[in-house]
Amino acid sequence: MTDTNKTRYEPAMTAQTVNPKRRFRGKPRGRELDNDELSALRQLLGDERDHPDLCRRDLLIEHLHAIQDGRGHLPLTALRALASYMNLPMAAIYETATFYAHFDVIHDDQRAPPAITLRVCDSLSCRLAGADALRARLEAGLDASEVRVLRAPCVGRCETAPVVEVGHRHLGHATSERVAATLATGELHPEPIDWSRLVDYRAAGGHALLADCRAGRVSVEALMHEMEEAGLRGLGGAGFPTFRKWHFVRAEPGPRYCVINADEGEPGTFKDRYYLEREPHRFLEGALVSAWAVEAEALYIYLRDEYPGLHRVLREAIGELETAGLIAPGYVVLRRGAGAYICGEESALIESLEGKPGKPRHRPPFVAQKGLFDRPTLVNNVETVYWIPLIHTRGAEWFASQGRHGRKGLRSFSVSGRVRYPGVHLAPAGITLRELVDEYCGGMAEGHGLLGYLPGGASGGILPASKADIPLDFDTLQEHGCFIGSAAVIVLSDQDDLRGVATSLLAFFADESCGQCTPCRVGSEKMLALLEREEWDAAALTRLSQVMMDASICGLGQAAPNPVLGLLKDFRPELANQNLIIRG
């Protein structure tokens, strides 16, 4: 390029063309800080000038919750004040706040949302129970200026579908009349939970294992051997042997952390809530034993925000442990999620614990090597640690001897859909779907015949009634294109629309994708669009599925195609009977 051409595109700046006001700014870019907002924030959170720990990045989501809870939304003026308070870029505050579904970021030119929000669950179980029609009735019958009606992904109460959250109070088997009655009473806080207190748990022998571990009467090696003999595996989905995970974390240099994943967001799953509501201290003992096993500096519990009543239960239960001198104040840290399915993935959960958007990390390194605060971290599921005290008390053989069809152990099945008695059913590992429905669920619901079932929630795939005699356990379903995952069983009947099932599941994955990787972000939306067509292109759906499974960063994108592939493989006659044309 010649000098002549260069001057055409890059004119020289002379003394006459320089604008001093643009060159020397008297103020930083962006809107000015509102000092009144900063003062209000200090009243709410505490004065960071006296307590610098309040500015830690890992407290960002907790601070956002405090503002949202207090004001009902997050105005940008408050976010600017929070950026100043925490000495973080406004971009970091805004990116985190807008990532999570339960934060309402309101721009300066926008109106605040109504004081009351209804969240109508639109997971598959609730949609089978009529959630779409219920939401339409609520939208038509309520004043939108006073009450807003939102769709919500699974809220973990599938046994009482359809479910509506009115403020923070959950209504099972919801009707528009029940919602209206609740609004009239103004009872919008979480429903009370009757749970077993520490004094009762200790009277029944609780915390004996923790005491033996701390006193040296039980060694880490002996306990790991016991868990190995019992066959205890991760019950959040992956099924990794518990003793081996402990071993990997212990092999890394300290300091180490322990994290409990209580963010069960898989549609159809509610077993962790079931156990936490009834025996939180058994869970806490198992969690503390796990933390002891890896010599953790602290124990973090990440609880999904859809369980507000449990937040209070766990906070009080942890307080009981501190008062009794069983743990040091602050050793157990309870944190809230904010409405993001992806945070059930362990590395995304850790990102969220650090006050960031919950986006999965590239691996390696694995979280056992570099997890929370870049230190080795043990991540266990709620139900996994819940079983540890029981296995030690009753013996490894007791747990391992419970299975059927050559399998070992017990499984907590979250069963919903077209059965007579949905709920959490503790059954032998390896039980078949037919046995589970007949022996534990009272058979199919009146007037419904078995069409198919999802053995592991939305991501676990879908199987036809002809495969209802396969043992349900880890490693038994992979050859059929499925997996048991968190043992969330959703039962479908001959009255259900399979196209609607497929679009419901893919709409969930498209909405919950964190957006970090293109195969998942674009692939899930494209697959949903293909499923909504009058005809299905099987070849295109299969190719797209393969790309998503091969190239997505985490399990969300890798597992999202599973139900679609299952329908194409095993349900073509049923789809044809429902007037769906499949090409290829």
Chain position carrying tokens 């599938």? 158
pLDDT tens-digit profile of 126-176?
A: 999 999 999 999 999 999 999 999 999 999 999 999 999 999 999 999 999
Q: Is the pLDDT of residue 433 over 70?
A: yes
pLDDT tens-digit profile of 482-538?
A: 999 999 999 999 999 999 999 999 999 999 999 999 999 999 999 999 999 999 999
Q: In the numeric block, which tokens belong to residue 244?
A: 């081996």
* Beta strands 450-454; 488-493: pairing state: antiparallel
Per-residue model confidence (pLDDT) at position 238: 84
Per-residue model confidence (pLDDT) at position 1: 40
Q: How deeply is 312 buried, as exposed, middle or buried, from its count of CB atoms within 10 A (0-12, 13-18, 19+)?
A: middle
pLDDT tens-digit profile of 166-206?
A: 999 999 999 999 999 999 999 999 999 999 999 999 999 99
pLDDT tens-digit profile of 264-285?
A: 999 999 999 999 999 999 999 9
Q: Is the pLDDT of residue 428 over 90?
A: yes
Contact 456, 432 (CB under 8 A): no
Q: In the numeric block, which tokens belong to residue 556?
A: 């969300």
Degrees, nearest 5: CA angle 193-199-201: 75
pLDDT tens-digit profile of 205-243?
A: 999 999 999 999 999 999 999 999 999 999 998 889 999
Nearest to 221 by CA among 256, 255, 246, 191: 246
Q: In the numeric block, which tokens belong to residue 412?
A: 């907590």
Q: At what angle do helices 35-45 and 76-86 cross, to 10 degrees?
A: 70
pTM equals 0.93
Q: Is the pLDDT of residue 11 over 70?
A: no
Nearest to 468 by CA among 501, 435, 426, 492: 435
Q: In the numeric block, which tokens belong to residue 316?
A: 């009080």
